[in-house]
Amino acid sequence: MSTIPVHEWTLREAADRIRSGGVSSRELTEAILGRIAAINPKINAWVTVIPEKAMAQAAVFDEMQARGESAGPLHGVPVGLKDIFCTKGIKTTCGSRILHNFVPPYDAAVTERVLCAGAVLLGKQNMDEFAMGSSTETSFFGNTLNPWDPSRIPGGSSGGTAAAVASAMCFAAMGTDTGGSIRQPASLCGVVGLKPTYGRVSRYGMIAFASSLDQGGPVTRTVADAALMLGIVAGHDRRDSTSLDLPVPDYDAALGRDVKGLRVGLPKEYFEGEGLDPQVRAAVDRALAALVAAGAEAVEVSLPHTEYALSTYYLIAPAEASSNLARYDGVRYGHRAEGTSGLIEMMSKTRAEGFGPEVKRRIMIGTYALSAGYYEAFYGKAQKVRTLIRRDFDAAFQKADVLLTPTAPTPAFRIGEKTDDPLTMYLSDIYTIPCNLAGIPGISVPCGMSSEGLPIGAQLLANHFREETLLTAAGAIERAIPLPRVAPFKG
């Protein structure tokens, strides 16, 4: 047995130990459930924990193991899911009051794939309501705290996911990323977060925020674990028409690859703007130095339309959301307002009670952007700019194999610091949003700690379907800059 506590094992270590019989799924699941019981009341990373189901599932895997059978690469390992992935028979809230009681009769594609790989599902993780937020403060179920400093936010919207992984309340988890919702909280919690290429992972059963931007991806404590999870969830699904029918490469093979000769592009616009914390800048410089030391070559690139990305995103995402969220009307499932008379009053009051202020703000922005007479000026123009942003990346990837940028402008900020100022909050995603608009993959990998002991992440971006390049480069940074994997949260 290892000298480090079981909960600090990586996903691969945990899977290996179960496979080799060093530990049972029940022992491992029990240990992690114990950790959740001790830590979660202070962190609030989970909306739903399902200890009985998890233990029962672990028992099934142990029996299989005894018969010499394996369910898959995650056989018996406890994991978590952001509460945006539908789970059959398990409440799925999307962080919203309007779905506070919703129990889906179906699994999301991601849920299916993770379970089919043999994982034990521990529960559902907290998030900004409908994934709209950068701090997990918009959740109906209360905000999640950053395990590195509980006075700070964990980032968002997959804040519960990043916090749970960082505080070892699971070995890996799946989050979603519409404008940075995997990468930004991963950066702020000191873990690895990977947003795959749009279309790489099925969106079936993943509650929609902005359909043309949403993408599910893994949050893990190591790059190798991210590769393992990605290999499990990636692949074509005919239930999602935007899912791409391309073979899934062997991501493990990318882990050991050399970065010698890799062209690392530095988009100058990402380093010019105000608001980039010097400590973050310094940490990203160290990540670059690590890559260069390993033989990579630094090149300057330009993404000239970067300054329009935020406003483009805040037209397209709310427009799609205003339509996607219109189905929550109290008619068929979810919250329904009491004591109303008539259809219009029932629907209006249900939605007034069911949605929080940030969701309402975005529904209103989106409805306006699609309105007759404004469509061309707003939504139409945003789509055109989106094309220009995509072309910026096409041009940059002529000169570089991978782009290196900060993930977030600052380390984790304080709880409540930006809740009154949506625009400042939106700026948290300034480096992550263009990637979603272009549909390319991105990863956040820890690259340093601030003087206050807060994690800092570096973002790597690659061309469509070049997740392998991301894993190779992120692995090199991870090896060169050793950092603690688990937040030293004592509770």
Partner 1 sequence: MDFEAVIGLEVHAQLSTESKIFCACSSKFGATPNANACPVCTGMPGVLPVLNRRVVEFAIRAAVATGCTVQRRSVFARKNYFYPDLPKAYQISQYELPIALGGHLDIEAGGVSKRVGITRIHMEEDAGKLIHGGSSAGSQGSLADLNRCSVPLIEIVSEPDMRTAEEASDYLRRLRDILVYLEVCDGNMEEGSFRCDANVSVRPRGQEKLGTRAELKNMNSFRNVEKAIEHEIRRQVELIEDGGTVVQETRLWDADRNETRSMRGKEEAHDYRYFPDPDLLPLVIADAWIDELRQTIPELPVPKSARFTERYGLTIYDASLLASVRALADFFEGAVAAFGKNPKTTANECIQWKDAILANAVSVETIGQVVEDRETGLISATAGKTLIEQSIATGKAVRVLREELGLTQMSDTGELEAVVAAVIAANPKEVEIYKGGKEGLLSFFVGQVMKETKGKANPKIVSEVCRKLLG
Catalytic residues: 82, 157, 181
Task: Read off the amino acid at residue 144.
Answer: T
* Residue selected from 30, 73, 100, 106 as contacting partner 1 according to rule CB under 8 A: 106
Spatial neighbors of 399 by CB under 8 A, at least 6 apart, are 263, 265, 299, 301
| CB 257, min distance to partner 1, A | 33
Cα–Cα nearest to 32, from 165, 132, 230, 206:
165
* Residue selected from 319, 433, 437, 477 as contacting partner 1 according to rule CB under 8 A: 319
Neighbours of 319 (CB within 10 A): 26
Q: Give the tokens for residue 449.
A: 């700690």
Cα–Cα nearest to 389, from 443, 428, 433:
433
Residue 335 phi, psi dihedral angles, 5° rounding: -65, 140
Find the part of the chain contacting partner 1 (CB under 8 A) among 30-38, 144-152, 205-213, 293-301. 205-213
Q: Nearer Cβ to partner 1, position 342 or 488?
A: 342
At which residue do the structure tokens 């509650």 appear? 207
80 strand-pairing partners: 173
Q: Site size for partner 1, by CB under 8 A?
A: 44
Of residues 347-366, which lie at the interface with partner 1 (CB under 8 A)? Answer: 347
Find the part of the chain contacting partner 1 (CB under 8 A) among 79-87, 119-127, 465-473, 479-487. 79-87
449 strand-pairing partners: 455
* Residue selected from 343, 364, 395, 483 as contacting partner 1 according to rule CB under 8 A: 343
Cα–Cα nearest to 109, from 19, 204, 251, 208:
204
Under the binding rule (CB under 8 A), the answer on residue 240 touching partner 1 is yes
Under the binding rule (CB under 8 A), the answer on residue 340 touching partner 1 is no
Under the binding rule (CB under 8 A), the answer on residue 238 touching partner 1 is yes
| CB 487, min distance to partner 1, A | 30
* Residue selected from 4, 38, 282, 326 as contacting partner 1 according to rule CB under 8 A: 326
Under the binding rule (CB under 8 A), the answer on residue 2 touching partner 1 is no
Pairwise CA distance, residues 7 & 15, whole Å: 12
Of residues 84-103, which lie at the interface with partner 1 (CB under 8 A)? Answer: 84-86, 92, 94, 99, 102
| CB 169, min distance to partner 1, A | 24
Residue 448 phi, psi dihedral angles, 5° rounding: 170, 175
- Strands across the sheet containing 192-195: 46-49, 120-125, 78-82, 172-177, 215-220, 192-195, 442-449, 455-462, 402-406, 263-267, 297-301
194: left (phi over 0), alpha (psi -120 to 50) or beta: beta
Q: Nearer Cβ to partner 1, position 86 or 433?
A: 86
Under the binding rule (CB under 8 A), the answer on residue 81 touching partner 1 is no
483: left (phi over 0), alpha (psi -120 to 50) or beta: beta
Continuous segment of H or E residues that includes residue 263: strand 263-267
Under the binding rule (CB under 8 A), the answer on residue 83 touching partner 1 is no
Under the binding rule (CB under 8 A), the answer on residue 242 touching partner 1 is yes
Neighbours of 63 (CB within 10 A): 11
Contact mark string toward partner 1, 165..204, x via CB under 8 A: --------------------------------------xx
Q: Nearer Cβ to partner 1, position 108 or 229?
A: 108
Q: Nearer Cβ to partner 1, position 102 or 308?
A: 102
* Residue selected from 279, 311, 340, 367 as contacting partner 1 according to rule CB under 8 A: 367
Sign of the alpha-carbon dihedral angle for 412, 471, 239, 179: positive
* Residue selected from 42, 55, 333, 381 as contacting partner 1 according to rule CB under 8 A: 333
Under the binding rule (CB under 8 A), the answer on residue 439 touching partner 1 is no
Q: Give the tokens for residue 157.
A: 């919207």
Under the binding rule (CB under 8 A), the answer on residue 320 touching partner 1 is yes
* Three-state SS at 88: coil
Q: Give the tokens for residue 50.
A: 């399902």
Q: Nearer Cβ to partner 1, position 216 or 457?
A: 216
DSSP states of 430-447 as a string? TTTHHHHHHT--EEEEEE
Of residues 375-404, which lie at the interface with partner 1 (CB under 8 A)? Answer: 375, 379
Under the binding rule (CB under 8 A), the answer on residue 329 touching partner 1 is yes
* Three-state SS at 455: strand
Contact call for residues 404 and 265 (beta carbons, < 8 A): yes
Continuous segment of H or E residues that includes residue 81: strand 78-82
Contact mark string toward partner 1, 452..471, x via CB under 8 A: --------------------
| CB 348, min distance to partner 1, A | 9
Pairwise CA distance, residues 289 & 310, whole Å: 29
Contact call for residues 267 and 303 (beta carbons, < 8 A): yes
* Residue selected from 21, 41, 68, 105 as contacting partner 1 according to rule CB under 8 A: 105
Under the binding rule (CB under 8 A), the answer on residue 156 touching partner 1 is no
Under the binding rule (CB under 8 A), the answer on residue 206 touching partner 1 is yes
Find the part of the chain contacting partner 1 (CB under 8 A) among 49-57, 319-327, 426-434, 461-469. 319-327
Residues that bind partner 1 (CB under 8 A): 84-86, 92, 94, 99, 102, 104-106, 108, 203-208, 210-212, 238-242, 319-320, 322-323, 326-329, 331-333, 343, 347, 367, 370-372, 375, 379
